[in-house]
Amino acid sequence: MAKTISLQRKLLQTSMLGSVVAGVIALILLVGISIYQTMSVQDEIMDEISDMLLISDLTANSGQQVDELSSEFDIEYQLRMNQHVLTQSTQYSFPQDQFITQKDEYSYIWYKKRIWRSYHAKNEDHNMQVQVLQPLHVRFEEMLQSFLGYTAVLLFLWCLQWLITHFSIKRQFQTLHQLSREISEKNAEDLSPIQQKEPELEELQPMIKQLNQLLARLEDALIREQRFTADASHELRSPLSAIQMRLQVLKRKYSDVAPEIKQDLIQIQQDVDRGTRILENLIMLARLDPTQSTQVVMTKVYLPQLIDEVMSALAPFAEQKKIQFHLEIMPSEIRANQELIYICIRNLLDNAIRYAEFGGNIYVHLNSDQQNSILTIEDDGKKLTEQVINRLGERFYRALGTKTQGSGLGLSICKKIIELHHASIQFSPSEYHGLKVQLNFSND
């Protein structure tokens, strides 16, 4: 079975994935640019401090500016002349071997478990050297706050986009849901073309066109089938009725002749009766449609009385085979079509009588509670294999080796009637070695 996916969820995921990827790329670029700008600005400040310290005529005012910059940006410095310290920041605590005496350059040093940004500069004219240092984490603290702010805004925008996209896609899919409802409402009585409501989606037009063509073909096929059923029932019933009348005449005419002829007439009568039953079953099977349950008249049906009527009708047939009925009937009332349920129970009991052994037994149990009524019919006929049981209910199916006459339509009709009542039918092996049929009706 193919994997099922949600197109609506897929569109939402694709849209959000594109937005998230674009947002992450933008955030990475923003971080990269921010790092570059922060490093450049802070390096310029360190360079400015070093220039101010290397000026030979350092005044009190400029010295105050250096201290303010040093304090504001957490910068430490030291100014030396001829290896003698002229001035340094109050927090300067670097050992002498950390003082770099090479050319002017920026570098990184590791000290006190921290990475420092170091800048070394010198004044060749006055033989002065200055070293300016700043903890690297200071540069990123302010940038980190900005980064977190940008991230929060981005997350908010993603959530907002998800909501807008989700409801937008859901609204657009209302057209598909409406189309699905219209298709589900179609039945044999209504195969009119599907009309897409405004606004019409261009992408759905080919599918709707094909569906309407399919509905038109189905309508034509149903009309032809109904005509065929009506014509066939008329054309077949007429000759069967004529044969029945001729047989009645022949029986009366040859009632006193040789018993061989009389027996042949009885056999012909049985064949005609069987043909009539097959025709009636075929017509009923063609007319039953489980999708039209709302068109079937439902009334309160008292099942014990209906079972008694069926057994009375089949009593002569059961007496011929010396069948014994074992009944356990509880009071039960369901909402159903009485004529159809009568046919269903009659077919099941008729089937049980046909396949029970001569002098056999049939067990009929009716149990009922507040929710369900369960009718169980069992016989002690020949044991059926699982393969045969699984195929029961198929049209014209009869187990191989069965000598009992039948059309293979009785159980098919039962299944259709049960589906029409939204009940259930189950076939299983009986504990009495025959077939067990269980009907489950809802009492609601």
Q: Hey, which residues does 301 pair with through a beta bridge?
A: 334
Task: Tell me, yes or no, whether 277 and 314 share the same domain.
Answer: no
Contacts 24+ apart (CB under 8 A), 155-158: 157/23, 158/16, 158/19, 158/20, 158/23
The per-residue pLDDT for 302 is 92
Question: Last residue of some domain: 254, 287, 320?
Answer: 287
> Total structural domains in the chain?
3
234, part of any domain: yes
Task: Tell me, yes or no, whether 269 and 301 share the same domain.
Answer: no
Q: Are 114 and 141 in contact (CB under 8 A)?
A: no
Q: Which CATH number fits the domain that encloses residue 258? A: 1.10.287.130
Q: Taking CA 435 as the corner, what is the angle to CA 429 and CA 439, rounded to the nearest 5 degrees?
A: 95
Q: Are 303 and 366 in contact (CB under 8 A)?
A: yes
Question: Mapping DSSP to helix (H, G, I), strand (E, B) and coil, where does residue 214 land?
Answer: helix
Task: Tell me, yes or no, whether 261 and 128 share the same domain.
Answer: no
For residues 165-169, average pLDDT: 86
The per-residue pLDDT for 307 is 92
The helix or strand, by DSSP H or E, that contains position 361, with its residue range, turns out to be strand 361-368
The per-residue pLDDT for 274 is 62
Residue 407 has pLDDT above 70, yes or no: no
Task: Tell me, yes or no, whether 21 and 154 share the same domain.
Answer: yes
The helix or strand, by DSSP H or E, that contains position 414, with its residue range, turns out to be helix 410-420
The per-residue pLDDT for 378 is 92
Task: Tell me, yes or no, whether 279 and 314 share the same domain.
Answer: no
* Exposure b/e, 247-279, CB count within 10 A at least 16 = b: beebeeeeeeeeeeeeeebeeebeebeeebbbb
Q: Note if the bond before 290 is cis, omega within 30 degrees.
A: no
185, part of any domain: no
Task: Tell me, yes or no, whether 257 and 301 share the same domain.
Answer: no
86, part of any domain: yes
CA dihedral of 19, 25, 27, 33, whole degrees rounded to 10: -150
Percent over 70 (pLDDT), the chain? 83
Per-residue pLDDT of 278-308, as tens digits, reads 677 667 656 665 555 556 678 899 999 999 9
Largest CA-CA distance found in the chain, in angstroms, rounded: 156
Compute the mean pLDDT over every residue in the chain, rounded to the nearest whole number: 79
Per-residue pLDDT of 369-392, as tens digits, reads 888 899 999 998 888 878 787 777
For residues 337-363, average pLDDT: 88
Question: Mapping DSSP to helix (H, G, I), strand (E, B) and coil, where does residue 194 land?
Answer: coil
Task: Tell me, yes or no, whether 250 and 383 share the same domain.
Answer: no
Task: Tell me, yes or no, whether 18 and 128 share the same domain.
Answer: yes
CA–CA dist 347, 425 (Å, integer): 13
Residue with tokens 């079937």: 296
The per-residue pLDDT for 64 is 67
Range of the domain at 59: 7-159
Beta-carbon contacts of residue 393 (< 8 Å; ≥ 6 apart): 411, 412, 414, 415, 425, 427
181, part of any domain: no
Per-residue pLDDT of 57-114, as tens digits, reads 555 555 566 767 777 777 888 888 877 777 777 777 777 655 555 556 788 888 878 8
Q: Are 174 and 168 in contact (CB under 8 A)?
A: no
Question: Mapping DSSP to helix (H, G, I), strand (E, B) and coil, where does residue 435 land?
Answer: strand
The per-residue pLDDT for 439 is 92
Task: Tell me, yes or no, whether 41 and 131 share the same domain.
Answer: yes
Residue 396 has pLDDT above 50, yes or no: no
Task: Tell me, yes or no, whether 11 and 134 share the same domain.
Answer: yes
Residue 1 has pLDDT above 60, yes or no: no
Residue 405 has pLDDT above 70, yes or no: no
The per-residue pLDDT for 435 is 87
Residue 336 has pLDDT above 60, yes or no: yes
Q: Hey, which residues does 106 pair with through a beta bridge?
A: 119
17, part of any domain: yes
Residue 177 has pLDDT above 90, yes or no: no
324, part of any domain: yes
Question: Last residue of some domain: 287, 322, 338?
Answer: 287
195, part of any domain: no
Question: Last residue of some domain: 128, 143, 159?
Answer: 159
Instruction: Assign 366 a pLDDT band (cuts: 50, 70, 90).
Output: very high
DSSP 228-294: HHHHHHHHHHHHHHHHHHHHHHHHHHTTTS-HHHHHHHHHHHHHHHHHHHHHHHHHHHHH--GGGGG
The per-residue pLDDT for 94 is 75
Instruction: Assign 442 a pLDDT band (cuts: 50, 70, 90).
Output: confident
Q: Which CATH number fits the domain that encloses residue 49? A: 3.30.450
The per-residue pLDDT for 90 is 72
Residue 4 has pLDDT above 70, yes or no: yes
Instruction: Assign 327 a pLDDT band (cuts: 50, 70, 90).
Output: very high
The per-residue pLDDT for 247 is 80
Task: Tell me, yes or no, whether 153 and 258 share the same domain.
Answer: no
Q: Which CATH number fits the domain that encloses residue 381? A: 3.30.565.10
Residue 363 has pLDDT above 90, yes or no: yes
The per-residue pLDDT for 375 is 94
Task: Tell me, yes or no, whether 141 and 38 share the same domain.
Answer: yes
196, part of any domain: no
Residue 400 has pLDDT above 50, yes or no: no
The per-residue pLDDT for 65 is 67
Residue 215 has pLDDT above 90, yes or no: no
CA–CA dist 77, 182 (Å, integer): 81
